[in-house]
Structure 1
Amino acid sequence: MDAALYEWTLEHPAGFDNSRLDGLPVGFAEVPPYDLWFRDCLLPCKPAVLPPGLTSAWPARSRWLRSDGRPDLSALAHEFGDALVPVANCDRRQYDANPKQNMTLCDYIAYWNEHVALDYRSPQGCLYLKDWHLCRAFPKADIYSTPIHFSSDWLNEFADSKQTDDYRFVYMGPKGSWTPFHADVFRSHSWSANMCGRKRWLFYSPGQEDLLRDPLGNLPYDVMNDPLPDAAPAPLEVIQEAGEVIFVPSGWYHQVLNLEDTISINHNWVNGCNLYQTWAFLQAELCSVQREIEDCRTMQGWEQQCQLIMKSCTGMDYQDFYLFLQTIAENRIELLKQLPGTSLDEMTRNQDDRHGMPTMLGPWHAIFDLHKLLPVFCSVAADPHINQLVNDSLLERPSHLTTAAETVMAEAKWNLS
């Protein structure tokens, strides 16, 4: 990101604008430069299809595929066969998802081969390996590298700094495996790269999901087969080919069907372009929990119990979000402090891109990040619920961090001008 693009973002703040939906999804014949991608897709939260050139050099696209382009299940079994993997049964419904079990990859591949041999009619049903944290389980495996287009990834930056979890996943499954109707965790962005196979995506823009609710307010489980209201809009349909990458912006509900035997690599991610949506989602989730247990409000520890329930449902509570914002802000402040007298090449050599902002995005991107983060951080810090959860002796006071960020932003702009 350069100075001109940063200034443009101040004049064109991100937001959901359904008048911008003409011609969606954005399709690129060639891999776009980052600034064009940021301006036309990331900031306005518009779905996009990126071409196979983005993934053509990934080791997974050669090691994991046969000469005919189909999954090389034997190679996968040889490389990762003893790994325990999460497998969903697409033929069964548990609440609004598919029930899961753990299997070894070898056992899953044996099932897959049998399923194909029986013309995709295994008595075990249609099983789908989903949400496998392969990178976390095999950190030295050379599988792929995150494209620069998706590298402003605060969610995985924070997860890596805590060394507890990540939001990088591998999916693989036979023709007919699918994912029910949903929006992504924390209202994050996601990207999904097909190593092989084809997927059918059905998208609904933010707000359209409310037109799909039944009389009780419930969302559909399967938009292709469940009865929908008469006013239900038609989905945006996209067929994703082998090698292509789909960008799913924050808040877009979607359903996905594998049209062929398919392997994909997926990330969930949050950054300055969708941070407000994540904060709004957490606020709405807390309000929902409070309504559900309103009759217990007079109990001691009610606020903490609401946070605990919210975290069990969403994976994050207010204190986690506060720490998340603080970590990202501190990383950006530290990067900008290095700016005077240090070339970008030197900064890059000294930066571990798994633990902090990739410096190839540049100092103007760090300034943009702080520009988007600080208002949300102040909003979180001012929320009455956070005061009962955050111990000031353990966490830096918001005013200190805000002052430090504003100071380093001003100095960086001066040094870059």
Structure 2
Amino acid sequence: MFGFEIQQKKNIMTASMNVYTLEKSVLNVDCIDKKKALRSFSHVKIDRVSHFIPPDSYSEFFENCLLRNQPCILSSLNTAAWKSRKDWTCPNGKPNFEFLRETFGHAVVPVANCKREKYSSQPKENKSFSDFLDYWQNYIESDYSENLDSFYLKDWHFSRDFPNYKAYETPCVFTSDWLNEFWDSKADNDDYRFVYMGPKGSWTPFHADVFRSFSWSANICGRKKWIFYPPGEEENLCNKYGHLVYNIDSAELSDAKLYPNYSKVKSRIEVIQEAGEIIYVPSGWHHQVHNLEDTISINHNWLNGCNVDICWQYIKNNLLQVQHEIADCREMEGWDEQCQLILNATVGIDYDEFLRFMEVISENRINQLQNHLLLVTDQFDGEPKEQDTDINWPLDKYFVDKIEVLKTGVSSAADSKCLTPSGGCKMTEGQINHCVFDLQSVKDILHDMILTHEFCHLNNCKNRANDLIKTIDTLFNSIAQTNCMH
């Protein structure tokens, strides 16, 4: 089974490249459209999956939860074997402060103050992990005194800081993770894999996740209360100035003059997450979270072909807001570029980097499928080919230079992260289906990009998008020619 194990950077298996299998029905455009159409029909309750999720359930979960953007909770059976659940907790279910201090106490961690608000968020500062644990234990001994601050360790890049400690394995249904796959390819040593630790009463204000990504959160110990509002309800939870409410339980919401649309709210969903359980948070579901006990959790944000359209729309909407804010400067030279700079500063990504995101995801899958086609062609010919690029299917400039890499195993630093499944063996039909789904999802975004005025005005972006569309189409034709889909 695929294990989420961070190794040395150059040896990382990108998050979604141990490809699980999708049923061919998932590739049906009508099926995809129907599943996505159900995004707006949100359940009034969150289903609990009471069993362990094996890899052969991947396709079912993909269709029913990821494509439909519906939340659920996975049983603690899915985390029972994790090292963190054994090491980080005592037999009574409480945090194992002694182990945590001895093993990780020297780390520097980000800590938020839950009793303070600054710019609609909880202000953070860096502390030594040992100092945070000292505070936590003293806070418990004070019986969580109202006179003391409530500190919450948030967004700790634990796997990055301790790459040799295998705290957990990403459940198979969450491994198609384009976001961390892309960030692993960058040089800034960043990711969207986090550890959270906080005392009873610590909490996270009302929000939706970065880039409108999916997220999953596993309780290593402790219990949490989650308050959810389905996509669209957030419009009714903004004040007359358009600002989202900070605390969903605030008395201010009853002020009709300040929150004129609050009376239109239809769906509030509350759920308790027990120790060991994993909660899946879909794209655009705003939520607020309270720790009911001393709690440790492991969280990921991630994107894939099921919700990349939501992410792209979110980025476009934010650019519109930026353009509105600086509309009086529209005649200035380089206005489009300035808007992109502000977009990157406020959202965390701009159009050029999002295109690079799509290129990296595509390159990895093109390499996977191209290697498979080479192996299949060798099998048809009865013996291995000489190492040259005289291949009997059409290739374009986008990946012709990668053929020698695929045949010799020699690669650049960027290509070294793209590893083939099963040590270079041919892909299964289900793995091919997944790569095709991913590439089709990228292609849909690219088509929308080149119809976007602001995107086409950026230097060479339209040409890059068109080249990638041609590459994907060429590869799809090659797959069809070799009957890999049948």
TM-score, normalised relative to structure 1 = 0.92
Partner residue of 2:52?
Answer: 31
CA contact (8 A) 2:194 2:300 kept: yes
SS of the residue corresponding to residue 297 of structure 2 reads: strand
Q: Is 1:150 matched up with 2:174?
A: yes
SS of the residue corresponding to residue 204 of structure 2 reads: strand
Map 1:49-68 onto structure 2 (within 5 A). Answer: 49-68=73-92
Per the TM alignment, residue 19 of structure 1 is displaced from its structure 2 partner at its CA by 6.0
The one-letter code matched in structure 1 to 2:439 is: L
CA contact (8 A) 1:152 1:357 kept: no
Map 1:123-272 onto structure 2 (within 5 A). Answer: 123-164=147-188, 165-228=190-253, 229-272=262-305
Q: Is 1:4 matched up with 2:73?
A: no
The one-letter code matched in structure 2 to 1:269 is: W
The one-letter code matched in structure 1 to 2:437 is: F
Per the TM alignment, residue 221 of structure 1 is displaced from its structure 2 partner at its CA by 0.6
Per the TM alignment, residue 9 of structure 1 is displaced from its structure 2 partner at its CA by 5.8
Per the TM alignment, residue 213 of structure 1 is displaced from its structure 2 partner at its CA by 2.0
CA contact (8 A) 1:202 1:254 kept: yes
Per the TM alignment, residue 321 of structure 1 is displaced from its structure 2 partner at its CA by 0.3
In the alignment, the residues of structure 1 paired with residue 415 and residue 82 of structure 2 have an alpha-carbon distance, to the nearest angstrom, of 18
Partner residue of 1:383?
Answer: 452
In the alignment, the residues of structure 1 paired with residue 104 and residue 77 of structure 2 have an alpha-carbon distance, to the nearest angstrom, of 27
Per the TM alignment, residue 358 of structure 1 is displaced from its structure 2 partner at its CA by 8.2
Distance 1:396 1:168, change over 3 A: farther
The one-letter code matched in structure 2 to 1:398 is: A
Per the TM alignment, residue 367 of structure 1 is displaced from its structure 2 partner at its CA by 0.5
The one-letter code matched in structure 2 to 1:45 is: N
Distance 1:134 1:16, change over 3 A: farther
Moved more, 309-318 or 230-239: 230-239
Partner residue of 1:93?
Answer: 117
In the alignment, the residues of structure 1 paired with residue 300 and residue 37 of structure 2 have an alpha-carbon distance, to the nearest angstrom, of 22
Moved more, 11-20 or 285-294: 11-20
SS of the residue corresponding to residue 172 of structure 1 reads: strand
Partner residue of 1:308?
Answer: 341
Per the TM alignment, residue 307 of structure 1 is displaced from its structure 2 partner at its CA by 1.2
Partner residue of 1:363?
Answer: 432
Per the TM alignment, residue 20 of structure 1 is displaced from its structure 2 partner at its CA by 3.3
Q: Is 1:398 matched up with 2:428?
A: no
The one-letter code matched in structure 2 to 1:301 is: G
Q: Which runs of 4+ in 1 moved over 6 A?
A: 350-354
In the alignment, the residues of structure 1 paired with residue 420 and residue 375 of structure 2 have an alpha-carbon distance, to the nearest angstrom, of 16
The one-letter code matched in structure 1 to 2:474 is: T
Q: Is 1:411 matched up with 2:478?
A: yes
CA contact (8 A) 2:218 2:298 kept: yes
Map 1:66-105 onto structure 2 (within 5 A). Answer: 66-105=90-129
In the alignment, the residues of structure 2 paired with residue 156 and residue 357 of structure 1 have an alpha-carbon distance, to the nearest angstrom, of 15
Moved more, 104-113 or 163-172: 163-172
Distance 1:257 1:354, change over 3 A: farther
In the alignment, the residues of structure 2 paired with residue 114 and residue 152 of structure 1 have an alpha-carbon distance, to the nearest angstrom, of 41
In the alignment, the residues of structure 2 paired with residue 73 and residue 396 of structure 1 have an alpha-carbon distance, to the nearest angstrom, of 55
CA offsets 1:374-403 (integer angstroms, 9 cap, x no match): 0102322443323443446xx972222212
Map 1:323-334 onto structure 2 (within 5 A). Answer: 323-334=356-367
SS of the residue corresponding to residue 209 of structure 1 reads: helix
The one-letter code matched in structure 2 to 1:154 is: W
CA contact (8 A) 2:216 2:280 kept: yes
In the alignment, the residues of structure 2 paired with residue 77 and residue 342 of structure 1 have an alpha-carbon distance, to the nearest angstrom, of 50
In the alignment, the residues of structure 2 paired with residue 355 and residue 20 of structure 1 have an alpha-carbon distance, to the nearest angstrom, of 39
Moved more, 37-46 or 358-367: 358-367
In the alignment, the residues of structure 2 paired with residue 243 and residue 382 of structure 1 have an alpha-carbon distance, to the nearest angstrom, of 45
Per the TM alignment, residue 16 of structure 1 is displaced from its structure 2 partner at its CA by 5.4
CA contact (8 A) 1:183 1:254 kept: yes
In the alignment, the residues of structure 2 paired with residue 311 and residue 302 of structure 1 have an alpha-carbon distance, to the nearest angstrom, of 14
Tell me, which stretches of 5 or more residues in structure 1 are unaligned? none
Partner residue of 2:70?
Answer: 46
In the alignment, the residues of structure 2 paired with residue 325 and residue 18 of structure 1 have an alpha-carbon distance, to the nearest angstrom, of 23
Distance 1:88 1:132, change over 3 A: same
CA contact (8 A) 1:55 1:243 kept: yes
CA offsets 1:10-41 (integer angstroms, 9 cap, x no match): 42324353663235312211134111211110
The one-letter code matched in structure 2 to 1:385 is: E
SS of the residue corresponding to residue 373 of structure 2 reads: coil
In the alignment, the residues of structure 1 paired with residue 139 and residue 314 of structure 2 have an alpha-carbon distance, to the nearest angstrom, of 40
In the alignment, the residues of structure 2 paired with residue 292 and residue 134 of structure 1 have an alpha-carbon distance, to the nearest angstrom, of 37
Please say which structure displays the higher CA radius of gyration.
Answer: 2
In the alignment, the residues of structure 1 paired with residue 421 and residue 216 of structure 2 have an alpha-carbon distance, to the nearest angstrom, of 21
SS of the residue corresponding to residue 264 of structure 2 reads: coil
> What is the aligned-residue RMSD (CA, Å)?
2.4
In the alignment, the residues of structure 1 paired with residue 81 and residue 265 of structure 2 have an alpha-carbon distance, to the nearest angstrom, of 41
Partner residue of 2:17?
Answer: none
SS of the residue corresponding to residue 203 of structure 1 reads: strand
The one-letter code matched in structure 2 to 1:404 is: T
CA offsets 1:351-391 (integer angstroms, 9 cap, x no match): 99994588487121000001111010232244332344344
Per the TM alignment, residue 268 of structure 1 is displaced from its structure 2 partner at its CA by 0.5
In the alignment, the residues of structure 2 paired with residue 169 and residue 126 of structure 1 have an alpha-carbon distance, to the nearest angstrom, of 20
CA contact (8 A) 1:336 1:409 kept: no
Count of residue correspondences: 410
CA offsets 1:33-72 (integer angstroms, 9 cap, x no match): 1112111101100001011111111111101111111111
Per the TM alignment, residue 289 of structure 1 is displaced from its structure 2 partner at its CA by 0.7
